Amino acid sequence: MLLNEARLDDLMARERLDAVIGTSPENVLYLGGYWAMSQWVRRGPQAYAVRLRQGYRAPIIVTNSALLDLVADQEIGGDIRRYSFFKTDVDSAATLSPADARQVELFTTQAYPSPVEALVSALKDHGVAAGRIGIDEIGITPQCMEQLIAALPQATFVRSFLLLEKVRAIKTPEEIARLRRAASISEQAIDAALAAARLDMTEIEMARVFHSRTTELDGVPVTGCIGFGERSAMSNVQPSTHRLQRGDVIRFDVGCRYRHYRSDISRIAVLGEPAEKMRRYHDALYKGVQRAYDILKPGLKVADLFDQVIETVRREGIPHYDRSHVGHGIGIEGYDPPNIAGNSSDVFEENMVVCVETPYYELGFAGLQVEDMILVTRNGAESLMARDGRLRILG
């Protein structure tokens, strides 16, 4: 299961929530296990996943009838409420597969006219219509939110996007396995791109190799900041027709999705002999991230990690180094808590997965960066990377 059920129960109890409703694609997937395609590829389509604090323990799913095939194929259990018309025919002579039989069964249920009517019926049937209801405010349209409030005048609604982020911060074993694989895919795709590097190659040509390798490994491309030379100093550099020259930095700040879980890693290479400043600065940034492995464990204050990483980079070679954060959690979302910043009041906990990063952008010179995905273990930290972030020198 993706959901950290014990942590959800705990945080719902603290906030005295009777129910919590996921509305953004990430939270519908997290709470319900349900990947509702249309909300991932368009703006507006509504799907919800509800969890109750007491009583019914399975998820309650609200979905368009056009997506019932995914409910069946993904073997989503629980209380499924569908809305809108959708036509699927059945070959009455055929022996149906279990998924098709389940889909037929789902089509025998009542179709509500709208997502909110389906949701309201579920909340009423499960006895929380007058309860305290957490709602992820990011995925529900304002129109639907108004309808929901009007339909349940006795309910109290509490915005809960941040609460769900907090739940998601501590990963379950299934989530860790997916994140590990996502990191590995992006790392292998960087290796493939660097293996293809050659003088006069364009950034776009290298990005093609990178993304194609990602897809061959069953990753879905998400971010591909790949820049050469001075362009690498643009923090979000998007591949262009700019061509690789000898002595250029090649910066990757890249990631994918693997079974809906994200990677976000960064590596630096140089074609040929790096300038002395590149070596020195990169070494400082590398040591900044390595410092995290020395001290990261449950109980460490997030702000302390921030301070130590910044201080290490300054001491090791970039005295003017300054950042608002040196990393963040990662999961279904690219940025889960904690945000590794100096003003954080969070503390690291076992089974957090975090990106620790030390980017440095100097216009006219280059962008350098190390970013590793790291699992917080019971007693320390474990890299999800196969290779460390040292500067790579291409022949």
Task: Please choose, from the candidates 19, 353, 333, 1, the residue with its C-alpha nearest in 3D space to the C-alpha of residue 160.
Answer: 19
Of residues 348 through 377, those in contact with a copy of itself by CB under 8 A are 360-365
CA 202 – CA 245 distance, rounded (Å): 10
Output 126 or 231, the one with its CB closest to a copy of itself.
Answer: 231
What does the DSSP 8-state code read for residue 83?
A: E
Compute the least distance from the CB of residue 333 to a copy of itself, in Å. Answer: 6
Two tokens at 352?
Answer: 């957090």
**335, 377, 392, 394: residue in contact with a copy of itself (rule CB under 8 A):** 335
Is residue 90 a contact residue for a copy of itself (CB under 8 A)?
A: yes
Residue 319 within binding range of a copy of itself, rule CB under 8 A:
no
- Considering only residues 14, 93, 110, 173, which one is a binding residue for a copy of itself as defined by CB under 8 A? 93
Shortest distance, CB of residue 29 to a copy of itself, whole angstroms? 12
Instruction: Say how many residues touch a copy of itself, by CB under 8 A.
Output: 75
In angstroms, rounded to a whole number, what is the distance separating the alpha carbons of residues 190 and 240?
Answer: 17
Q: How far apart are CA 223 and CA 333, in angstroms?
A: 13
Site for a copy of itself, residues 39 to 68, rule: CB under 8 A: 41-44, 66-67
Chain positions 202 to 231 lying near a copy of itself, rule: CB under 8 A, are: 204, 208, 211-212, 214-216, 218, 220-223, 230-231
* The binder of a copy of itself chosen from 33, 323, 357, 385 (CB under 8 A): 323
Shortest CB 231 distance to a copy of itself, Å: 8
DSSP letter, residue 229: G
Q: Tell me if residue 223 falls in helix, strand or coil.
A: strand
Residue 142 binding a copy of itself, by CB under 8 A: yes
Q: How far is the CB of 372 from a copy of itself (least distance, A)?
A: 19
Among 106, 130, 145, 295, binds a copy of itself (CB under 8 A): 145
**Following CA atoms 347, 349, 353, 355 in sequence, which dihedral angle do they give, to the nearest 10 degrees?**
20
CA dihedral of 38, 42, 44, 47, whole degrees rounded to 10: 20
**Structure tokens that stand for 43 in this block:** 């703006």
Report DSSP letters for 328-346, one per residue.
Answer: EE-SSSSSEEEE--TT---
With binding defined as CB under 8 A, does residue 89 bind a copy of itself? Answer: yes
Rg of the Cα atoms in the chain? 24
Nearer to a copy of itself, 17 or 225 (CB): 225
390 binds a copy of itself (CB under 8 A): no
Residues 245-304 that bind a copy of itself (CB under 8 A): none
What CA–CA distance (Å, rounded) separates 395 from 385? 23
The correct pick among 14, 91, 241, 276 for binding a copy of itself (CB under 8 A) is: 91
* Sole residue written with tokens 């992006």: 186
